[in-house]
Amino acid sequence: MAMKSQTQRGLLFGFIGSILCCGLVGIYCLLIGQMGSFEARVLGTTAVIGAASILGLACAIPWERRRWHPVGPIGIFAVVIALILVLIAIWVDLWRLVDWDEAFYRTMGVVCVVGVALPHVALLSLARLRRSYGWVRRLTIIMIVLLGSAISYLIVVEPGGDYWARITGILAITVVCGTIAVPILHRVSAIRTRDDVRTVVLLLSITCPRCSMTQELPAGRSSCAGCGLKFLIQIEEENCPTCGYPLYRLESSVCPECGTPIARGADQA
């Protein structure tokens, strides 16, 4: 767990560092008044490293939370390979290697598609959906796979006409719609889950500090029956520290959602 958390911190610092480098290179180019080949390559390198850091972070988070293993580590591996290939394309003059120039760029394009698709799927795995909403995420993942396959086909085969381009556009629209819908359904599912665990009305015995009248009041807003003093009673619900899953009346020693061990007091053991 510690190693994965350190990986996340490293990826985040890599992204921040790449942003700083991009800013410094931009300032340097503005000061000298020109953008040469070397400056363009440095700027491209920092931008690519920043993008790779974000994609790697998108895979590292579900990996740490044990969501859909091994999508996380495979996604990080694909991002690293894509980063290496793009850096080679930036810094190596491939025009000198005519025999494998075209094949290299086609391979790099396909690997980059995989390096973006897997982090996308990894992020969708973080959503906690009710069973009735699960088909939306499954359909979105299928569309991601089909979209990645269509783009890869366009890169490798380069078919004539606009037939495949139209299909790719339709798949892209479907993926965007599904990607927007999943977080919304995640939020709706969380609200309904919290409502479901509130199965009883809690009454607390309260002694009014103004008139000393003892009475039973429900959680929430209420007022004293004797003097009208207003009360706001809030009860903090126990949730999983990792994913926020409600632990009310849970007898398991681990969170059923993410597998995080649940620390309980001696009276609950």
Task: Give yes or no: residues 112 and 162 share one domain.
Answer: no
Cα–Cα dist 210/253, whole Å: 44
Please state the pTM of the whole predicted model: 0.64
Please indicate, yes or no, if residue 242 is contained in any of the structural domains.
no
Task: Give yes or no: residues 117 and 140 share one domain.
Answer: no
> 162 Cβ partners below 8 Å, 6+ apart?
none
Which helix H or strand E contains 2, and what residues bound it?
helix 2-32
Task: Give yes or no: residues 89 and 184 share one domain.
Answer: no
**In the listed set 98, 126, 154, which residue is the last one of a domain according to the structure?**
126
The boundaries of the domain holding residue 225 are 203-233
Task: Give yes or no: residues 24 and 60 share one domain.
Answer: yes
Q: What is the chain's mean pLDDT, rounded?
A: 79
- Scanning the structure block, which residue is given the tokens 């409600």? 246
Please indicate, yes or no, if residue 100 is contained in any of the structural domains.
yes
Cα–Cα dist 269/266, whole Å: 5
pLDDT score at 41: 80
Name the domain count of the chain. 3
CB atoms within 10 A of CB 185: 18
pLDDT score at 242: 64
- The CA distances from residue 142 to 94, 117, 146, 174, in Å, are 35, 11, 6, 10
Task: Give yes or no: residues 192 and 207 share one domain.
Answer: no
Q: Percent of the chain scored above 70 by pLDDT? A: 75
pLDDT score at 1: 38
- The CA distances from residue 52 to 13, 16, 58, 93, 146, in Å, are 12, 12, 10, 22, 23
> 132 Cβ partners below 8 Å, 6+ apart?
none
pLDDT score at 101: 73
pLDDT score at 191: 63
Please indicate, yes or no, if residue 249 is contained in any of the structural domains.
no
pLDDT score at 178: 93
Task: Give yes or no: residues 19 and 117 share one domain.
Answer: yes
Task: Give yes or no: residues 180 and 146 share one domain.
Answer: yes
pLDDT score at 20: 76
pLDDT below 70 — which residues of the chain?
A: 1-12, 14-15, 30, 33-35, 94-100, 190-202, 235-237, 241-246, 248-250, 256-258, 263-269
Task: Give yes or no: residues 169 and 105 share one domain.
Answer: no
In degrees to the nearest 10, what's the CA dihedral of 127, 114, 77, 19?
-80
- When computed from its CA atoms, the radius of gyration of the chain, rounded to whole angstroms, is 27
